[in-house]
Amino acid sequence: MTIEHDAVGIAVAQFAPGADANENLTTLAELASTAAERGAHVVVAPEYASYFVDPFDATLAANAQPLDGPFTRALATIAAQNDLTIVAGLVEQGTRDRVRNTAVAVDGTGVVAASRKQHLYDAFGQTESAWVEPGETGSVETFVVDGLRFGLMTCYDLRFPEVARTLVDAGADVVLVPAEWVRGPLKEFHWETLVAARAIENTIYIAAADHTAPIGVGRSMVVDPRGVQSAGIGPERGVAVGWASRSAIDEVRRANPALDLRRYRVEPTG
């Protein structure tokens, strides 16, 4: 594979978060160090990386943290040690007995962007909304690393193309997706198809990080603006690094100027 001169290394860090926040951080530190050694400047980790139990119960709210709490402060230390920006799923304190499912981006200075999951997983027999409050629609935060702009969305949001399009309208070149894509019939196919579709229709990079088996499908990956997977992992814990470049985006968009040719805009419904 040829790496462009302006390429930015993006790592997907795949593991199975659990109910021990310190253990989750230890794993994240190990994976982040590996990613940095392989040349990554940005790392995306799974959804619910700060705390996860299956099935959900009252401990979810009991272990929720503020946006600038211990988990993100520890992530900032890991980021500073490895010269990285790290994106991971945070169980953030919400209102009353529900939490926020937040994708948080942290560098050595602290939190640089945050995105609360907009579409909750009330599907395939699950009811995430019983425990989680949805994020506001139309609210977009991005951050820049080495000249590329990064946007955030979470897991089930992949099934709603409007979310990615909103991020592209805000200038995102790369969308990072922390996920807990639950196993089930055809779910691996859905995961791979939707990640590729969001990249193709927006001519952007998508980097999506899932939980390992047996709960998640694994298969974390980096996909380029043509929809081609440039890096990926199987079902096991690990790190894969893909490369994103402005010149590659420009080349794809010269051949396929779909964003310029579109005749519709996205507006939130509430």
Q: What positions carry a catalytic annotation? A: 47, 117, 155
Strand partners, 86: 43, 106
CA distance 239 to 192: 17
> ∠ at Cα 154 (139, 252), nearest 5°?
85
3-state secondary structure of 268: coil
> ∠ at Cα 159 (158, 163), nearest 5°?
60
CA distance 168 to 151: 8
* Cβ proximity of 181 and 206 under 8 Å: no
CA distance 175 to 154: 10
Closest CA to 31 of 14, 17, 19: 14
Phi/psi for 225 (5° steps) reads -65, -10
Strand partners, 110: 107
